[in-house]
Amino acid sequence: MASQMRWTCAQEKSWGVVPKSDETRRLIQSALFHHFLFSDLEEDGTVDIIDTMAQEEALAGMVIIQQGESGDKFYVLESGRATVKVNNRLLASPEGSLRPGAAFGELALMWNSPRAATIVATEDCVLWTLSRPLFRRLLAASSSSQTAVLCDFLKNIPLLKPLGNQETTKIARALRGAMFSDAEYIIRQGEEGDLFYLIYKGTVVCTRSDEDGKERELMKLGPGDFFGERALQLREPRKANVIACGDVECFTLSQQQFVQLLGSIQDVM
Ligand SMILES: Nc1ncnc2c1ncn2[C@@H]1O[C@@H]2COP(=O)(O)O[C@H]2[C@H]1O
């Protein structure tokens, strides 16, 4: 059990500084920058937080995180090795084999969900941990604060329901905002398509221009609906216009991100 882990420093006091070597600080910083949530953090934004991280040890064989349990910490592995199992199945390397510099345990904190995987120390490990409030503060220091808001939005979208929290968090990280004003053409029929759109706020109307030049309404879409997938899937020109009705806020994915992140659910679109 995770609770059997041994504390090697005084328990982290709220916002208290836990001393650590420059080498350790560099390792933690690099682990954060290499983690998909924190890749755009400014160095300055991490200093205070790294100061407060507390040290733990897990001996070989110990469970650091147990799938299904609630979670209250984010971890950086300083030394030793650990493995990742989902539903008792060891994940293939490299994802399933954690080495020094790996950072994990973000999903339960971001989503308020049970731990999504079990992490077991396969060698004696030294870890640095961040409590939930400090993790949230780190999130707020990066553009991932927007990610947290977006995750809340994305988890209610039926299309994305088949995806796990990890995949959805990656989508939230990749989305870029785009604003449109009333009557603006977001997509024009006949043009090449290179973006996928998810509506965050507002309404759009889809129209098609017939050969006689008349533009006919096909349907209206609102928050949580998506459009623009067809041209990306079939690599053909846009088959309809999509026009903003009032102010509209969308999030977009590029063609490459669309394939990478939504590949597994493209057949349900
Ligand atoms: N395929 C995976 N699915 C879920 N969690 C994973 C996976 N690979 C690594 N992990 C990490 O394992 C952690 C288990 O705790 P969390 O769910 O908080 O966060 C999880 C991720 O950081």
Q: What does pLDDT average to in each consecutive run of 10 residues of the chain (269 residues)?
A: 43 69 95 87 82 96 97 97 96 94 94 94 98 87 72 88 88 90 96 94 96 92 94 90 96 91 80
| pLDDT at 7 (0 to 100) | 40
Q: Which of 142, 165, 183 is the last residue of a domain?
A: 142
Cα 119 to averaged position of ligand 1 atoms, centre (Å): 8
Atom nearest to 108 CA in ligand 1:
18
Same structural domain, 137 and 161: no
Domain of 188 in residue numbering reads as: 147-268
Q: Tokens 């916002």 — which residue?
A: 15
| Same domain? 136 vs 7 | yes
Protein residue with its CA nearest to atom 2 in ligand 1: 117
* pLDDT at 8 (0 to 100): 41
Say what the ipTM of the complex is. Answer: 0.94
- Together in a domain, 126 and 11: yes
Of the candidates 142, 160, 183, which is a domain's last residue? 142
> What's the pLDDT at 15?
60
**88 shares a domain with 72:** yes
Structurally, the chain folds into a number of domains equal to: 2
Q: What is the largest CA-CA distance in the chain?
A: 77
Long-range contacts of 12-21 (CB under 8 A, 24+ apart): 12/52, 12/53, 12/54, 12/129, 12/131, 15/52, 15/134, 16/52, 17/51, 17/52, 18/51, 18/52, 18/53, 18/54, 18/55, 20/50, 20/53, 20/55, 20/128
> Which DSSP symbol is given to 142?
S
Helices (H) and strands (E) in the chain, counts: 8, 16
Residue minimizing CA distance to atom 11 of ligand 1:
104
Distances (CA, A) of 262 to 61, 109, 170, 207, 232: 36, 23, 10, 25, 11
Which of ligand 1's atoms lies nearest the C-alpha of 117?
14
Query: Does residue 159 contact residue 225 with C-beta atoms inside 8 Å?
Result: no
84 lines ligand 1 (CB under 6 A): yes
How far apart are the C-alpha atoms of 255 and 33, rounded to whole Å? 25
**Are residues 134 and 162 both part of a single domain?**
no
